[in-house]
């Protein structure tokens, strides 16, 4: 996948993160077959923040990382508004983190209808 196509795939996966949950750049990268830094670049250029909830993507160590429209303080406020909680060091509590890529990745099963004749 190249440039714009991989960015669109990143946006598609990020759109699946439910309100009140977060995931990591690495999980998104696993879903789209790229490096976590490519995911970060895509999110930095996110054309529709909030609609494509890039504030729900954090670092693997549970720190919140950056956020282009407004900085980390805005990202933290958005997450708190959604019910995400943080520990004393400012890291997202593990219970709010989706670590399993299968929860967000597109199903690998062909979804076309299968007709079986009897």
Q: Exposed (0-12), middle (13-18) or buried (19+): which is 76, by Cβ within 10 Å? A: middle
Q: Residue 90, Cβ neighbours under 10 Å: how many?
A: 11
Higher per-residue confidence, 105 vs 114 = 105
Report domain 3-103's class. mainly alpha
23, β-bridge pairs? 57, 98
Sign (positive/negative) of CA torsion 41, 44, 45, 51? positive
Q: Which tens digit of pLDDT belongs to each residue from 3-19?
A: 689 999 999 999 999 99
Measured in degrees and rounded to the nearest 5, phi and psi for residue 39 equal -60, -45
Report the chain's mean pLDDT, rounded to a whole number: 88
> Active-site residue 54, yes or no?
yes
| Cα-to-chain-centroid distance, residue 111 | 23
Active-site choice (22, 52, 54, 58): 54
Mean pLDDT of all residues in 76-100: 97
Per residue in 6-55, pLDDT (tens digit) is 999 999 999 999 999 999 999 999 999 999 999 999 999 999 998 999 99
Task: Provide the pLDDT for residue 2.
Answer: 65
């Amino acid at each position: 996948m190249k440039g714009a196509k991989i960015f669109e795939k990143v946006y598609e996966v990020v759109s699946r993160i439910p309100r009140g949950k977060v995931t990591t750049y690495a999980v998104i990268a696993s879903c789209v077959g790229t490096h976590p830094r490519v995911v970060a670049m895509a999110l930095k250029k996110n054309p529709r923040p909030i609609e494509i909830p890039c504030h729900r993507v954090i670092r693997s160590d549970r720190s919140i990382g950056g956020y282009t429209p407004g900085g980390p303080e805005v990202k933290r406020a958005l997450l708190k508004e959604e019910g995400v909680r943080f520990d004393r060091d400012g890291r997202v509590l593990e219970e709010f983190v989706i670590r399993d890529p299968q929860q967000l990745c597109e199903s690998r099963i062909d979804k076309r209808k299968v007709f079986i004749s009897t």
